[in-house]
């Protein structure tokens, strides 16, 4: 694990080297063990400041980052921009100026426009962590997914994961599939043709039905959230039809049990859409583990990145 | 202005007729007319001698797709800075797009645009007019008034006329005035909020894509409407191989259709877009390498009639926002000749004759002008090009107000030394 090049920002998965991924995932393990203790804090980032900058509503991710930063003993400021006063386009540079003046060491940013975290990163010495930008990337989600899979499958290489749902509009699908591929895990996708773009990816196998999925024998099934707010057009006829075609129901749970396959979801789930109540209680669901690992992975990311705030 | 006679010594003259270059001296008299072309000419008294040894003398280019931004968007570009950029790039005449503020959609507005040009511009600038009122795509603009003012073409400039029925009426009506209908072929319902060519690259960037079929379907529609109405159609900014094929088929069927391509669609593709660099955001977007190859082939075989830069200045600030929100377009007047020399002529892919045919002759013919050539008795309209030098594109190099170009920082072979229009020498 020696001689990693210092990295200032975490913007996507594509640009990460395998050694960096290993470094973060391995460091996340002791951070997670910390959660069993009565004192869950380490002093690593005492005196450092983390700015949580969310241009898109998100309770889960922003809270996860906040908890992670708190457990690292950093000071956290939450800066949520309501969607009504969306600051985008022209004023982005002005916003960065303002951020600079706040002298944060870490900026966690979620933005509806792809590429914005990169623009912020270029214009500040703070370490920028992309917490989701448009359809582009959500690297900490991918890292927590990988951590979760590695816990249940220490022999993860060569395992198979199928991602189900809206691939076209999903930054989670992009980042997680890329990371799993880098780790040597096979990835397939299931979803309607209107949401699973043809010929965009070099490594994802397209499956066309649950029968094909179960024949493929996945080790884990990763359900994506149906992003109702992102459906600017009609990509499928109705929620009911989506549920019937692609949702996880009791019938499909039987096949899951037969295979011993795990169930994952980035949250928050739409019950009755991509998953039934019964499937939520599936004994091999990793959904809560994902949430817990999210905090550990984010602590490991804060620990890993090297801000250049001294140079400002 | 006190005009002087000038003797351009030892240059090599480029023509549209042959890739061969002829070494000659050119005497331009004080009226700006090429009075003598010969070998071993000597300068009389008071004649300024310009040594052109090793350099080429090339007829001035003509660009039918230029956004001057004045009036209304002078923070991006003005007529003066646009003209300066043109001259700096070897371009001696342009057609101005009507997407100013207000949009040029009536005879009166054409008149005021022409008045503004005549006060300011050292080069010929022909003001085009809108197809629809305010470029809104709902009602016909004032065709007869604009025709009376001599507009070279009608176009909604970077906007397609979305309704096929209205496009049909535009063509039917334009035909009565023999006006050229120019279309920025695009299907808004497919393009939507797209920012980049739809495909692997758009997926990787997580940006909404503009599918190739958005332009291709619009090209097919406009060609079919032109065939139906018999109007003359010019298609702007071809970007895909399939779109070009449609144009080729239409030409074979005898349709009155012409088309243009930009330097960026010839030499850049989606894989050149790095790190969300908005200077590579165009409409139509940069497509694939295969499309580049097909377009270059089309330019050479003549199925693409002409080159047009789509000079579209924006401020650096406007372009500094995220890729999805940044405006489309970049400047092109100062880079087109250099890029085409660097990528094609200098590599032996085609000669100066082809560049002159496609970027000097054909664009002038498109709007009913005579091509310019360097010949005795003709007004001087050429530039001096040094093929052995090189040019680095930088903020300092550019004369446009907009420092936005995908070629920023590149060192291109060749250098434009001077541009001559009539009796005036522009350094």
Among B207, B318, B324, select the one facing A90 at the smallest CB separation.
Answer: B318
Task: Find the helix or strand (DSSP H, E) in which B389 lies.
Answer: strand B381-392
Q: Is A14 on the interface with B (CB under 8 A)?
A: yes
Mean pLDDT score of chain B: 96
Please, are residues B102 and B72 in contact by the beta-carbon 8 Å criterion?
A: yes
Residues of chain A found within 8 Å of residue B199, distances taken between Cβ atoms: 199-200
The C-alpha of B277 sits at a distance from chain A's nearest C-alpha, in angstroms, of 10
Listed residue (A131, A201, A93, A135) closest to B278, CA to CA:
A93
CA atoms of A174 and A185, how far apart (whole Å): 14
Between the alpha carbon of residue B292 and those of residues A87, B191, B265, B281, B284, the distances in Å are 37, 21, 6, 16, 13
Count CB atoms within 10 A of the CB of residue A239.
Answer: 15
Can you say how many angstroms the Cα of residue B274 is from the centroid of all Cα atoms in its chain? 25
Q: What is the nearest CA distance from A152 to chain B, expressed in angstroms?
A: 29
Can you tell me the distance from the alpha carbon of A98 to that of B268, in angstroms, rounded to the nearest whole number? 36
pLDDT at A233: 55
The reported pLDDT for the residue numbered B181 is: 98
**Which pTM value belongs to this model?**
0.94
- Is the CB of B392 inside 8 Å of chain A's CB atoms? no
Beta bridge partners of residue A264, listed in sequence order: A222
Under a CB-based contact definition with an 8 Å cutoff, are residues B168 and B229 in contact?
Answer: yes
CA distances from A31 to A24, A48, A120 (A): 11, 18, 28
Helix (H, G, I), strand (E, B) or coil at B95: strand
Q: Strand pairing partners for B26?
A: B8, B37
Q: In what order do the strands lie in the sheet with B91-96?
A: B61-66, B91-96, B124-127
Residue of B nearest to A119 (CA): B322
Residue B258 burial by CB count (10 A; 0-12/13-18/19+): exposed, middle or buried? buried
Q: Does B327 touch chain A (CB under 8 A)?
A: no
pLDDT at res. B1: 45
Question: In whole angstroms, what separates CA B16 from the centre of its chain?
Answer: 18
> What phi-psi label fits residue B276: left (phi over 0), alpha (psi between -120 and 50 degrees) or beta?
left
On whether any CB of chain B is under 8 Å from the CB of A90, the answer is yes
Q: Which residues contact B275 (CB under 8 A, 6 or more apart)?
A: A118
Quick one: pLDDT at residue A84?
Answer: 43
What DSSP designation does B298 have?
Answer: H
Quote the minimal CA–CA distance from A138 to chain B in Å.
11
Nearest CA in chain B to A111: B322
Size of the A and B interface in Cβ pairs below 8 Å: 67
* Average pLDDT of the residues in B157-167: 96
Q: Give residue B359's pLDDT.
A: 98
The partner residues of B59 in beta bridges, in order of sequence, read B382
Q: What is the DSSP letter of A193?
A: T
Question: In residues, how long is chain A?
Answer: 312
Residues 178 through 197 of chain B touching chain A, CB cutoff 8 Å? 192
ipTM value greater than 0.90: yes
Cα dihedral across residues B345, B349, B354, B359: positive or negative: negative
Contacts with A97 from chain B: Cβ below 8 Å:
none
What is residue B304's DSSP assignment? S
Interface test mutation site (partner A, options B315, B316, B322, max chain A beta carbons within 10 A): B322
Nearest to B163 by CA among B198, B139, B181, B194: B139
Confidence of residue B383 (pLDDT cuts 50, 70, 90): very high
pLDDT tens figures, A202-257: 788 999 999 999 999 999 999 999 877 655 558 888 888 999 999 999 999 999 99
Across A195-204, B23-32, B225-234, B409-418, least confident range: A195-204
In the stretch 203-242 of chain B, residues with CB closer than 8 A to chain A read 203-208
Helix extents (H) in B177-287: 188-191, 200-205, 212-229, 241-252, 263-267
Going by the DSSP 8-state scheme, the letter that residue A294 receives in this structure is H
What is the bridge-based pairing of β-strands B56-59 and B61-66?
Answer: unpaired
- Two tokens at B139? 């009602």
Which of A13, A88, A112, A114 to probe by mutation at the B interface, max B CB count within 10 Å?
A: A114
Residues 6+ positions from A97 with CB-CB distance below 8 Å: none
CA dist., res. A100 & res. A106, Å (int): 11
| Bridge partner list, B385 | B56, B416
- Rounded to whole angstroms, the Cα distance separating B118 from A10 reads 55
Which of B268, B64, B73 shows the shortest CA–CA distance to B157? B64
- The catalytically annotated residue of B63, B220, B222, B310 is B310
Cis check for the bond before A174: say yes or no (omega within 30 of 0): no
What residues of A are in contact with residue B326 (Cβ under 8 Å)?
89
Q: Is A211 on the interface with B (CB under 8 A)?
A: no
User: Phi then psi for A145, rounded to 5 degrees?
Assistant: -65, -45
Label residues A296-310 b or e (16+ Cβ within 10 Å = b).
bbbbbbbbbbebebe
CA distance A219 to A259: 8
B272 a catalytic residue: no
DSSP H helix total and E strand total for chain B: 14, 18
Chain B contact for A111 (CB, 8 A cutoff)? yes
Do the bridges between strand B6-13 and strand B22-28 make them parallel or antiparallel, or are there none, so unpaired?
antiparallel
The tokens for A93 are 């540079």
Instruction: Enter the tokens of residue B9.
Output: 């010594």
Residue B2 has pLDDT above 60, yes or no: no
Confidence (pLDDT) at B213: 98
Mark the ranges of chain A whose per-residue pLDDT is less than 50: 1, 83-85, 87-90, 312
B312/B333 Cα distance (integer angstroms): 9
Report how far Cα B109 is from the mean position of its chain's Cα atoms: 23
Q: Give B386's strand partners.
A: B415
What does the pLDDT look like over B238-254, one tens digit per residue? Answer: 999 999 999 999 999 99
Instruction: For A9-27, give one letter per residue: b (16+ CB within 10 A) or e.
Output: bbbbbeebeeebbebbbeb
> Looking at residue B411, what is its pLDDT?
98
């Amino acid at each position: 694990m020696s001689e990693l090049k210092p990295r200032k920002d975490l913007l996507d998965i594509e640009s990460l080297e395998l050694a960096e991924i290993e470094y973060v995932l391995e460091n996340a393990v002791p951070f997670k063990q910390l959660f069993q203790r009565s004192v869950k804090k380490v002093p690593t980032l005492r005196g450092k400041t983390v700015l949580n900058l969310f241009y898109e509503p998100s309770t889960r991710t922003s809270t996860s980052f906040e908890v992670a930063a708190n457990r690292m003993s950093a000071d956290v400021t939450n800066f949520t921009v309501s969607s009504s006063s969306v600051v985008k386009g022209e004023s982005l540079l002005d916003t960065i100026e303002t951020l600079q003046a706040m002298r944060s060491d870490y900026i966690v940013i979620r933005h509806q426009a792809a590429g914005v975290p990169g623009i912020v990163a270029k214009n500040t010495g703070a370490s920028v962590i992309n917490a989701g930008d448009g359809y582009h990337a959500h690297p900490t989600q991918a890292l927590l997914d990988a951590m979760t899979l590695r816990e249940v499958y220490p022999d993860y290489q060569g395992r198979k994961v199928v991602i189900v749902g809206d691939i076209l509009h999903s930054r989670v699908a992009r980042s997680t599939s890329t990371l799993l591929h880098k780790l040597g895990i096979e990835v397939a996708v299931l979803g309607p043709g209107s949401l699973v773009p043809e010929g965009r990816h070099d490594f994802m196998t397209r499956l066309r039905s649950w029968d094909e999925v179960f024949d493929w024998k996945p080790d884990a099934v990763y359900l994506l959230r149906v992003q109702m707010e992102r459906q600017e057009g009609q990509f499928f006829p109705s929620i009911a039809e989506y549920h019937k075609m692609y949702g996880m129901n009791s019938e499909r749970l039987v096949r899951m049990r037969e295979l011993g396959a795990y169930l994952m979801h980035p949250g928050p789930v739409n019950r009755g859409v991509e998953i039934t109540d019964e499937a939520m209680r599936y004994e091999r669901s990793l959904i809560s583990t994902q949430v817990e690992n999210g905090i550990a992975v984010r602590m490991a990311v804060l620990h890993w990145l090297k801000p250049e705030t001294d140079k400002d | 202005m006190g005009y002087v006679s000038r003797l351009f010594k030892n240059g090599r003259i480029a023509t549209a007729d042959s890739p061969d270059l002829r070494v000659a001296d050119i005497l331009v008299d004080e009226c700006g007319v090429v009075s003598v072309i010969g070998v071993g000419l000597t300068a009389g008294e008071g004649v300024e001698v310009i040594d052109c040894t090793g350099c080429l003398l090339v007829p001035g280019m003509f660009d039918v797709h230029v956004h001057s931004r004045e009036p209304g968007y002078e923070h991006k570009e003005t007529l003066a800075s646009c003209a300066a950029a043109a001259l700096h790039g070897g371009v001696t005449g342009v057609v101005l797009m009507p997407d100013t503020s207000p949009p040029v959609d009536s005879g009166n507005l054409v008149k005021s645009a022409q008045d503004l040009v005549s006060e300011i511009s050292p080069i010929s600038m022909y003001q085009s007019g809108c197809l629809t009122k305010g470029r809104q795509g709902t009602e016909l603009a004032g065709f007869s008034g604009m025709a009376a003012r001599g507009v070279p073409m009608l176009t909604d400039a970077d906007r397609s006329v979305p309704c096929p029925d209205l496009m049909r009426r535009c063509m039917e009506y334009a035909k009565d005035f023999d006006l050229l209908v120019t279309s920025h072929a695009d299907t808004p319902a497919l393009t939507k909020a797209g920012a980049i060519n739809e495909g692997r690259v758009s997926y990787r960037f997580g940006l909404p894509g503009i599918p190739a079929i958005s332009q291709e379907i619009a090209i097919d529609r406009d060609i079919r409407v032109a065939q139906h109405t018999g109007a003359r159609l010019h298609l702007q900014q071809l970007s895909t191989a399939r779109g070009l094929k449609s144009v080729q088929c239409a030409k074979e069927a005898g349709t009155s259709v012409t088309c243009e391509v930009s330097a960026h669609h010839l030499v850049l593709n989606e894989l050149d877009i790095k790190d969300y660099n908005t200077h590579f955001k165009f409409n139509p977007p940069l497509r694939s390498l295969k499309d580049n190859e097909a377009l270059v082939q089309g330019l050479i075989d003549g199925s693409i009639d002409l080159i047009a830069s789509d000079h579209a200045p924006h401020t650096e600030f406007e372009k500094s926002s995220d890729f999805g929100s940044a405006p489309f377009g970049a400047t092109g007047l100062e880079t087109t000749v250099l890029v085409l020399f660097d990528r094609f002529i200098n590599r032996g892919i085609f000669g100066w004759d082809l560049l002159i045919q496609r970027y000097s002759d054909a664009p002038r013919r498109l709007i009913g002008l005579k091509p310019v050539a360097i010949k005795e008795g003709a007004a001087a309209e050429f530039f001096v090009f040094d093929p052995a030098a090189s040019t680095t594109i930088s903020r300092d190099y550019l004369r446009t107000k907009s420092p936005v170009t995908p070629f920023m920082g590149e060192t291109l072979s060749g250098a434009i030394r001077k541009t001559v229009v009539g009796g005036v020498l522009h350094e």
